[in-house]
Structures are given as C-alpha cells and as structure tokens.
Amino acid sequence: MPRRQGYALLIALVAGTAALAAGVAFAGPLLFSGSGTGRKQTAAPDPRSVARTPAAPAHSTGLWLSTWTAAPTTGLIDTYHGGDPARRTIRNVVHTSIGGDAARITLSNLFGTRPLVIDHATVNTRPVTFRGASAVTVAAGGRVVSDPVVVPVAADADLVVALRTPTAEGPVTIHPGTHQTSYVEDERGTWRTTDWRYLTAVDVHNETAAGTIAVIGDSLTAGTGSTLDANSRWPDLLADRLHDRYAVANAGIAGNRILRDGSGVRASARFDRDVLDVAGVRTVVIALGINDVQQSPQETDPRRIADALRSLTRRAHAHGLRVVGATLMPYEGFRTWTPAQNTVREQVNDLIRAGGVFDSVIDFDKAARDPYRTSRLLPSYDSGDHLHLNDTGYRRLGSLVDLAALRHGQPVSDQL
C-alpha cells in the first residue's frame, strides 16, 4: 500500500481506543535542552511563549515546524447520530508533510460559545499534556497549544490525534470537507466523519528541515474533487517533491474569498492566524481569487482582486517571508460562469503575470486550461463540475511549483 494512503482505520480504531481506555500516566512534558542529545524533565513553559512563532527553537539544532494545519472554518451544532454531543472521543486523522522526534498540537474553540474541556488527548496513542496537566479548558473563541510530547512522527504518513470531550458544550469548531476519514466515538459506537474537529495544527521538532511553506487558498487548495483518503491535494504532492526539506501547511478553505467573508472569514482577515502564525514559516504560497470572481456578489473589478493579493504579499514581506502566487484557473461549464466574469479572471491573470503582485508566479491557468478552449479546464483534469480538479489535475498543479522559487536563504531542488 502506498505510504500516503496509510493505515488510519486500524490505528484509529484499535491503538487509539486502547490508549484512551488505559489512561497512561505521564510525568510531565519532556523538553529539549543542551546540545540536542540529552533530555531533562522540567516545568513546561507557557505554550504561548514558544508556539505560533516562526522557527521557535526546541533546542540548539532544531526547529518547530508545522507538519500539518487546518484552518478553522465554522461552528457545527453537533447532533451527531442523535447521541450526546458532550461525551465523545474524536480521532482526527491527519497526513504529515515532514517528520520529527517530538510533536505539539493546537486546539481551537474559535466558534464555540462556551468553554471546551478536553480531559484526555493523545498523538499516536502517546498522552499529551497542557502546562503539565492532562486536561485543558479552552475558552470560547480561544485556542491552546500543548506541551511538547516525545513521540516519533513519520513524514508522509497518517497521524491520529485523539481528543476526549466529557463536558463540551456549544458549537464544535471544525474544518469540514477534509477528504480524509476521521472518527467520532460515543457510548453506542464509532462513526466516520470527514470533519476535523478542534485540531488546527500539528507541529514537529525537526533538526534538518529548513522551514515551513504555508499555503493559503480555497477549495482548489483544500482538494475538492480529489479522492477520499488518497492525500492527493496539490500541496500534498508538493510536499512529496520537497523530500522532507520543508514542511507544507495547507490553509485551504473551500469557498474562501479574499475580499468578502463567505465560507470562513475572508483570506485577508485570517492571514495572520493561518499563515503568519504558522510555526517555522519561511515562504507563503497564495492561490486565491477565483471565488471573488465567480461567487455572488461577483467582483467585477480585477484591480481590486490584484490589489488585495498584493496587500497579502506586503504583509508577508513585513515578516521577512517570500511569496509565490498562482494564476486563476478557468471554469466554463460551472453554474456561475459568464463570459463577463471570465474576462475579469483573465484580467486578474494579466495583472499577476505582469509582476508586482507576487515575488514569483505559478501559472496554474496555463497548465490546467484546454488549449483548444482556454476558458475551460482540460477535460482530463476536470473532476466533473468544471471548476475543481481530479487527482490527475492536482498532481499536475503539484508538479508545477518551481522549487527554487520557494527557497529562503538557500536553493531547493528536486534532488534534495
């Protein structure tokens, strides 16, 4: 079986259940110190002091990098199979980009209206603590970062983060439409879900990788149209090409726009949270704008879209980050397509290609369009709805990114 497909079902249902039932004792977090070969037990620092900062050091030779992220999108009023939503174990299955020798997790209650209690959490069955305690309360609208937990994390592999919520109330903060099977367990059994719940980041401690590439986008970045559990989103394929040299953090939200709120808050409003605060971020990839063109109310001024993209680049530059951006792909045949809006899309692409919007450009439009009808996708890449790609199309996008354009301080190549 290919590595990217993994054995998530076996891990989630067998090993995860055993670990939560056992309630293994854990005598405080192990923090790295000294030369990197020795470890000592010490009081956990305030997680806010080291987390969500670029390249926060775990010890002198390693970095904390986000091997996986998910942008919180909405609050779910959870009546899952009619059971008690307050007494559940959630097994979030996520797919890593790089590995490491320790991990920490970020939990979000962004859309909750009451405090969220997590009384037991594990990463691949290893117990996780929060400032030395096994339980944590996340305030409504808040988030927390765990202590480091010494657990081997493999690159390009499925990872299970289990969370038990004995007294949770209020909307559940989720990222829906994940194209990944996770699980929710209650007293009556275990149920499949394609939502990630409460979990928004997994960081790993890594001594060799150069940093994290944060990708912000819409459904085309989130992987709409790709095969369930195949991990064939184009950022996944990009991570494969980087050979563990950089982590790739995917902050795609289906339906997301730059200029207006819609599916999730607009990208300009979530840019700090989902890009600038990503652990170890070095380079930003932006693939946004098609929903501003095609969703109602449709943006008719291409310069407003290009200016908004340029503003994101300036914000990244203020943090010393390099920015790579993508052109907007065609979508003739999709229900919202009009000739007038296609002209807006083409004008946005002209402005992007002319320079001054991004540091470097990935021409998704040129690669994905039908050469005989440039206003539509190449049929072999079309998932069927004429807007989203299939696995073959996403594989093509992942192959397009010039790895040298992603470098921050030193060249990157396919031979790394």
Task: Give the integer Cα–Cα distance in Å for 92 and 62.
Answer: 26
Q: What is the mean pLDDT of residues 49-66?
A: 52
Four-CA torsion 104, 69, 278, 324, nearest 10 degrees:
150
Token pair recorded at residue 107: 């939990």
Q: Report residue 168's pLDDT band, with 50, 70 and 90 as the boundaries.
A: low
Q: What is the mean pLDDT of residues 32-56?
A: 33
Task: Give the integer Cα–Cα distance in Å for 221 and 236.
Answer: 10
pLDDT digits (tens, 9 = 90+) for 224-236: 999 999 999 999 9
Q: Report residue 43's pLDDT band, with 50, 70 and 90 as the boundaries.
A: very low
More confident residue, 16 or 67: 67
| Percent of the chain residues past pLDDT 90, beyond the cut | 76
Is the pLDDT confidence value at 416 over 60? Answer: no
Q: What is the pLDDT of residue 169?
A: 67
More confident residue, 183 or 48: 183
pLDDT digits (tens, 9 = 90+) for 256-286: 999 999 888 999 999 999 999 999 999 999 9
HEC string of the chain equals: CCCCCCCHHHHHHHHHHHHHHHCCCCCCCEEECCCCCCEEECCCCCHHHCCCCCCCECCCCCEEEEEEECCCCEEECCCHHHCCCCCEEEEEEEECCCCECCEEEEEECCCCCCCEEECEEEECCEECCECCECCEEECCCCEEECCCECCCECCCCEEEEEEEECCCCCCEEEECCCCCCEEEEECCEEEEECCEECEEEEEEEECCCCEEEEEEECHHHHCCCCCCCCCCCHHHHHHHHHCCCEEEEEEECCCCCCCCCECECCHHHHHHHHHHCCCCEEEEEEECCHHHHHCCCCCCCHHHHHHHHHHHHHHHHCCCCEEEEECCCCCECECCCCHHHHHHHHHHHHHHHCCCCCCEEECHHHHHEECCEEEEECHHHECCCCCCECHHHHHHHHHHCCHHHHCCCCCCCCCC
Number of C-beta neighbours around residue 217 at 10 A: 26
Is the pLDDT confidence value at 19 over 50? Answer: no
What's phi and psi for 393, nearest 5 deg? -65, -45
* Whether the model pTM is above 0.95: no
Q: Report residue 88's pLDDT band, with 50, 70 and 90 as the boundaries.
A: confident
Which residues in 268-288 are b (16+ Cβ under 10 Å) and which e? bebbebbbbbbbbbbbbbbbb
Q: What is the pLDDT of residue 37?
A: 29
Is the pLDDT confidence value at 69 over 60? Answer: yes
Is the pLDDT confidence value at 8 over 80? Answer: no
Q: Report residue 58's pLDDT band, with 50, 70 and 90 as the boundaries.
A: very low
Q: What is the pLDDT of residue 2?
A: 47
Task: Give the integer Cα–Cα distance in Å for 204 and 128.
Answer: 14
Task: Give the integer Cα–Cα distance in Å for 255 and 216.
Answer: 12
Identify whether 297 is preceded by a cis peptide bond (ω within 30 of 0). Answer: yes
Task: Give the integer Cα–Cα distance in Å for 96 and 323.
Answer: 23
Is the pLDDT confidence value at 302 over 90? Answer: yes
Please give the C-alpha separations between residue 407 and each of 1, 188, 237, in angstroms, as whole numbers: 32, 50, 17
Please, are residues 364 and 327 in contact by the beta-carbon 8 Å criterion? yes
Q: Please report, in angstroms and rounded to a whole number, the separation of the first and last CA atoms in the chain.
A: 24
Q: What is the pLDDT of residue 325?
A: 98
Q: What is the pLDDT of residue 115?
A: 92
Is the pLDDT confidence value at 352 over 70? Answer: yes
Residue carrying structure tokens 């320079």? 355
Q: What is the mean pLDDT of residues 184-206?
A: 94
* Residue type at position 263: S
Q: What is the pLDDT of residue 382?
A: 98
pLDDT digits (tens, 9 = 90+) for 139-153: 999 999 999 999 999
Q: What is the mean pLDDT of residues 21-31?
A: 35
pLDDT digits (tens, 9 = 90+) for 119-131: 999 999 999 999 9
Token pair recorded at residue 319: 């943090």
Q: What is the mean pLDDT of residues 335-356?
A: 98
Is the pLDDT confidence value at 22 over 50? Answer: no
Q: What is the pLDDT of residue 122?
A: 98
Q: Report residue 53's pLDDT band, with 50, 70 and 90 as the boundaries.
A: very low
Beta bridge partners of 336: none
Task: Give the integer Cα–Cα distance in Å for 337 and 331.
Answer: 7
Q: What is the pLDDT of residue 216?
A: 98
Task: Give the integer Cα–Cα distance in Å for 113 and 121.
Answer: 22
Task: Give the integer Cα–Cα distance in Å for 80 and 96.
Answer: 27
Is the pLDDT confidence value at 57 over 50? Answer: no
Q: What is the pLDDT of residue 263?
A: 87
Q: What is the pLDDT of residue 50?
A: 34
Report the chain's mean pLDDT, rounded to a whole number: 86
Task: Give the integer Cα–Cα distance in Å for 386 and 317.
Answer: 35
Q: What is the pLDDT of residue 408?
A: 65
Q: What is the mean pLDDT of residues 12-20?
A: 44
